[in-house]
Amino acid sequence: MNDSLQARDKKFLWHPYTQMEDYAQRDILIIDRAEGLMLYDQQGKDYFDTISSWWCILHGHNHPTIKGFLRHQLDKLDHVLLAGASHEAAILLAEKLISLTPEKLTRIFYSDNGSTACEVALKMSLQYWRHTGRPGRKRFIALERGYHGDTIGTMSLGGVPDFHKEFAEILFQSFTIPSPYCYRCPAAQSPESCRLECLLPLRELLEREGENIAAIILEPLIQAAGGMRIYPARYLQELAELVQGHGVHLILDEVATGFGRTGKMFALEHAGITPDFLCLSKALTGGMLPMAATLTTEEIYQAFYGPYRENKTFYHGHTFTGNPLAAAAALGSLQVFAEEQPFTRLGHTIPHLHGKMSRFGELPWVGEVRCLGMIAALELVKNKQTKEPFSFAERVGWKIYLKGLEQGLLLRPLSNIVYLWLPISATIKEIDEITERAWRVLGDADNISGWSAK
């Protein structure tokens, strides 16, 4: 059966973010079942899902509480459009999300993935300014190495060239400011001496173009797909103060960081700020089903509210907007928070994970260890002193991925960045096992492509 599946996979499937030629002479990993942190292939071999299946599995796979909510919903309602109709699960979920987020956020617009959650925020911001008599505010600001999805709009604000450069001719123009990349600080500052010089270009841009800017979008505290770049909360605090001082909307993309992954329910809590838009997805349903939500303020909502003849309607929607099954899964995930109180556990597991990762910094090919909540990242370099990176052609991440599979770890490095993005349900014992297996992969120079002592 497995051989047949391998052949049929190669014949019919086109996998995302995957060079299919890699599997011309190699079997792809086919997962048969999952439980907790573990994935199992058809031969029964197990693998730790160290990246939460692209950052969405929150409480472990197949959590019984979430499945219970789904079963209950299946007996009632599978799907109904959310245009001119509604249903209990969507309403209850909206109430709960509003209660968990900053007081200023009072309205929720559902969609079905992180890209569209961010796209909704961009479109709402643009249309808000037109409704309020300021159509000149039509430009957006994003960060270098930022990533907000793969729609045309979100790619236009994407800062990862490898992902988006092929589509440059169909993207709209936006402003880009430097990334807060502390390890390779362009101002050559250390964390102790940092005065947030990397915000100077934003300050100058706002002074010059502030009246023409609708919004800025960024990922709070960590640029994930852009290389797991973790930055301090005070950067976020000062950025928020700057943009809001110029009347520019602040869009926080918490698609990846929401729901406890950083040690707080939302990353924005580390900085104590409130955005104009908050974009959520991935772990919203605990990773069980696709769903997304864009939260915004009453002020923005009211700009769209009025007699039909004024044509202020927000013309945006998706077939599965607010799907009852997905909403039920999200309610189930929030019920897990209530039942298991994971933040109590995280008070122990987060420092334990960070402590376990610290020894990786001793390896001569690890330039920096970065940790935030249940996220840990290693930046691999050829030379610690010069921070010389491995080249694209050396493809160090691919070899580590393959060695990880041998050790029962599903890793998916981002070029020279090897990272863990663990479910918040991970235990001390599981963290110990994962980091020990990772050490066996990364502690061996033979597994680090192109490395040699310099």
Q: What is the pLDDT of residue 290?
A: 98
CATH no. for 66-339: 3.40.640.10
pLDDT tier at 189 (50, 70, 90 boundaries)?
Answer: confident
- Concerning whether 312 is annotated as a catalytic residue, the answer is no
Which entry of 47, 110, 147, 419 is annotated as an active-site residue?
147
Q: What is the pLDDT of residue 452?
A: 60
Which entry of 49, 112, 253, 276 is annotated as an active-site residue?
253
What is the mean pLDDT of the segment spanning 78-86?
97
Q: What is the pLDDT of residue 404?
A: 97
What is the mean pLDDT of the segment spanning 207-227?
97
Distance (Å, whole) CA 63 – CA 361: 34
Which entry of 128, 181, 231, 282 is annotated as an active-site residue?
282
pLDDT tier at 174 (50, 70, 90 boundaries)?
Answer: very high
Which entry of 10, 17, 162, 183 is annotated as an active-site residue?
17
Would 2-62+341-447 and 66-339 be classified into the same CATH topology?
no
pLDDT tier at 2 (50, 70, 90 boundaries)?
Answer: low
Q: What is the pLDDT of residue 207?
A: 97
In contact, 409 and 441? CB cutoff 8 Å: yes
Percentage of the chain beyond pLDDT 90 is 93
Check whether 454 has a pLDDT greater than 90: no
Domain boundaries of the chain, sorted by first residue? 2-62+341-447, 66-339
CATH no. for 2-62+341-447: 3.90.1150.10
* Mean pLDDT, the chain, integer: 95
Q: What is the pLDDT of residue 188?
A: 83
What is the mean pLDDT of the segment spanning 38-58?
97
DSSP string, 274-290: --SEEEE-GGGGTTSS-
pLDDT single digits (tens) 307-351: 999 999 999 999 999 999 999 999 999 999 999 999 999 999 999
Distance (Å, whole) CA 154 – CA 140: 11
- Concerning whether 23 is annotated as a catalytic residue, the answer is no
Distance (Å, whole) CA 435 – CA 141: 38
What is the mean pLDDT of the segment spanning 392-397?
93
Check whether 453 has a pLDDT greater than 60: no
- Concerning whether 253 is annotated as a catalytic residue, the answer is yes
Q: What is the pLDDT of residue 451?
A: 63
DSSP letter, residue 50: T
Q: What is the pLDDT of residue 272?
A: 98
- Concerning whether 128 is annotated as a catalytic residue, the answer is no
**Chain centre distance of CA 182:** 19
Q: Is the pTM of this model over 0.95?
A: yes
